[in-house]
Amino acid sequence: MSGSLTGAALLRDATANRGTAFSEAERDALGLRGLLPPAVETPERQVARVIDNLKRQASDLDRYCWLMALRERSELLFQRALLDHLAELLPLVYTPTVGQACQQFGRIFQAPRGLYVTARDRGRVRELLRRWPAGPVRAIVVTDGSRILGLGDLGANGMGIPIGKLDLYSACGGIAPGSCLPVMLDVGTDNATLRDDPFYLGLRQPRLQDDDYDALLEEFVSAVQECFPGVLLQFEDFSNRHAFALLARYRERLCCFNDDIQGTGAMGLAAVNSALRITGGKLTGQRLLFVGAGEAALGIATMVKAAMVAQGLSLEQARERCWLLDTQGLLVAGRPGLPAHKQPHAQPRAPLADLEQAISVLQPTVLIGASGMGQLFSQPVLHALARHCERPVVFALSNPTAKAECSAQQAYEWTEGRAIFAAGSPFAPVELAGRTLVPGQANNAYIFPGVGLGLLASGATRVSDAMFFAAAAALAAQVKDADLASGRIFPGQDRLREVALAVAVAVATTAWRDGLATQPRPDDPELAILASMYRPGYPACAA
Ligand SMILES: NC(=O)C1=CN([C@@H]2O[C@H](COP(=O)(O)OP(=O)(O)OC[C@H]3O[C@@H](n4cnc5c(N)ncnc54)[C@H](OP(=O)(O)O)[C@@H]3O)[C@@H](O)[C@H]2O)C=CC1
Ligand SMILES: CC(=O)C(=O)O
Ligand SMILES: [Mg+2]
């Protein structure tokens, strides 16, 4: 309960309000009688009303708005509905609808949420952070809005992403919403359409560059360390112009990680390993072709190569099995202007210009799209893949749905139902030749909530690569034979909380093993972490 609030003030406090679930006794003790309709309802009945209302909305964006408005009335009911209907509501608070919400952010804006630190706040960032009213902050998700899903630079509209990611921290990772802080670093936007949009809510100026950008980031991270000691900082949807450099700069300074590089890396490694349980192949025998050579692709390629090396290949041999293609063609050594983050992935061979040619020549067994470009996996591309590979693995990781490199229907149809398909955004099962094929959702949502929980449970001071390998193994171990039998390489979204617990135990165990923890190791880590997880319960009021 929020302090000693009573009466109308209590009903207006979103963190404390339970609406019609206040009991008869609470209504008397808290001065609520007369301010509520007489029915006393169970949380289940309240959630049923939420679902009923959502069904009656005209569009998913309307459903998103309805849920955000609900949260302004009762955070508890919002969280309860999300937890009880995770698979159903995930596509609303997360991809794909959150993408639309970000695009329309200024139009659908109802109430501020989270913290805005802007280019104009140089010199007073600490002051802003100290202004945050909610309880002790344990987890921050921060973006600068420069690469929101596959939608590009959305400036301050990108705030929908940290909000959505933190909803999953609570619903899946069991981290209390009151200790989660979404942050928008508004450094301007290079999206001229947005800057001209009358409803745009961010700074109408070009993005800060170079030293000015770095100085604001430095001030922000220092202020975070000072104001919220021990906090976990997740970098999200920064463009690759800064993402790799920021990770390198800060990973040894505080407990932080980049979800798009590292979280996606762990998810991708687990996804490939799960798919191989269907094909019966070995990781060291695969040839992977990534379309895209940015954060997601390089995050996965780095982890896959390390896993191949751990299984006996030399780094050189592992490198020869992972090919990357970007807007300039295949990543080959000696290509002029290769940025530092791409260099370790370039291959000493003649360039190949296009995807179809690359497939014919390299004959990949695993094709991974992380390009942010919808429909790149055309019919000829998937035909070429299926020609040389009996069970091709096809991951269309780009979000939201319209940016997927192909749909589930296309992946199955164009490979005669032989593909093992998963996508970043959810796709419905596909009926083909009398079979029902169930695509998995290959999204870092299967990793980051558990990583966050494990880091906080162990009080980790730093986030290590070993933690992401442990997270990948824990996720892969959660995949059941029944999932694979339907073609789905990950557990259903309704099991995301269970998955997060398993990932958290693996991450925390790594922190305890490697001397990165500040919290004592409990006798039974799984039981202790489970007990620590937030549940949107309705305890009796201290009346
Ligand atoms: N499913 C999941 O869990 C995740 C999905 N994603 C999604 O992946 C996508 C990419 O994200 P991220 O890696 O961070 O973005 P980046 O901008 O870092 O990388 C995009 C890459 O795609 C390349 N590319 C763009 N168009 C083409 C094309 N036509 N042909 C070949 N390559 C192309 C770019 O080439 P160049 O380098 O030459 O510009 C770049 O290398 C986004 O849609 C995002 O939503 C991201 C993280 C997690
Ligand atoms: C899933 C995710 O992090 C992305 O698409 O950026
Ligand atoms: Mg992201």
Of 168, 164, 163, the residue nearest 183 (C-alpha): 163
The band of 374, judged by pLDDT with boundaries at 50, 70 and 90, is: very high
Selecting among 55, 64, 94, 538, the annotated active-site residue is 94
Instruction: Decide if 97-254 and 287-442 have a common fold.
Output: yes
Could you say which ligand is closest to the alpha carbon of residue 168?
A: 2
In the prediction, which pLDDT does 353 show? 80
Task: Please state whether beta strands 435-437 and 430-432 pair in parallel, antiparallel, or not at all (unpaired).
Answer: antiparallel
Q: Which residues pair with 440 in a beta bridge?
A: 422
Annotate 4-73 with three-state secondary structure: CCCHHHHHHCCCCCCHHHCCHHHHHHCCCCCCCCCCCCCHHHHHHHHHHHHHCCCCHHHHHHHHHHHHHH
Q: 339 near 255, Cβ under 8 Å?
A: no
Of 341, 325, 152, 118, the residue nearest 239 (C-alpha): 152
Is the CB–ligand 2 distance for residue 424 below 6 Å?
yes
**pLDDT tens-digit profile of 238-256?**
999 999 999 999 999 999 9
Distance CA 373, CA 291 (A): 10
Of 287, 229, 235, 283, the residue nearest 263 (C-alpha): 235
Is the CB–ligand 2 distance for residue 483 below 6 Å?
no
CA of 236 to the centre of ligand 2 (A): 8
**pLDDT tens-digit profile of 77-100?**
999 999 999 999 999 999 999 999
Is the CB–ligand 2 distance for residue 121 below 6 Å?
no
**pLDDT tens-digit profile of 430-451?**
999 999 999 999 999 999 999 9
**Residue showing tokens 């009991």:** 23
Question: Going by CA atoms, what residue is nearest to atom 45 of ligand 1?
Answer: 149
CA of 95 to the centre of ligand 1 (A): 16
Q: Both ends of the chain: CA-CA distance in Å?
A: 10
Q: 257 near 463, Cβ under 8 Å?
A: yes
Could you say which ligand is closest to the alpha carbon of residue 371?
A: 1
- For the residues of 388-439, what is the DSSP string, one character each? H-SS-EEEE--SSGGGSSS-HHHHHHTTTT--EEEESS----EEETTEEE--
Selecting among 55, 64, 165, 534, the annotated active-site residue is 165
Of 519, 507, 504, 493, the residue nearest 89 (C-alpha): 493
**pLDDT tens-digit profile of 115-171?**
999 999 999 999 999 999 877 999 999 999 999 999 999 999 999 999 999 999 999
CA of 298 to the centre of ligand 1 (A): 10
In the prediction, which pLDDT does 1 show? 45
Catalytic residue status for 213: no
Cβ neighbours for 381, distance < 8 A, ≥ 6 positions apart:
355, 356, 359
The band of 541, judged by pLDDT with boundaries at 50, 70 and 90, is: very low
Catalytic residue status for 94: yes
In the prediction, which pLDDT does 355 show? 96
Q: In what helix (H) or strand (E) does residue 98 lie, and over which residues does it extend?
A: helix 97-103
* Ligand 2, pocket-test mutation among 163, 237, 262, most atoms within 8 A of CB: 237
**Residue showing tokens 């006996």:** 312
In the prediction, which pLDDT does 539 show? 66
In the prediction, which pLDDT does 520 show? 98
CA of 59 to the centre of ligand 3 (A): 24
**pLDDT tens-digit profile of 484-522?**
999 999 999 999 999 999 999 999 999 999 999 999 999
CATH code for 287-442?
A: 3.40.50.720
Of 496, 527, 528, 423, the residue nearest 170 (C-alpha): 496
Query: 321: annotated binding-site residue?
Result: no
Is the CB–ligand 2 distance for residue 443 below 6 Å?
yes
In the prediction, which pLDDT does 542 show? 40
CATH classification of 97-254 is 3.40.50.12280, yes or no?
no
Claim: this prediction has a pTM higher than 0.95: yes
Could you say which ligand is closest to the alpha carbon of residue 370?
A: 1
Is the CB–ligand 2 distance for residue 149 below 6 Å?
yes
Query: 236: annotated binding-site residue?
Result: yes
**pLDDT tens-digit profile of 378-413?**
999 999 999 999 999 999 999 999 999 999 999 999
**Residue showing tokens 């880590």:** 525
Q: Where are the domains of the chain?
A: 97-254, 287-442
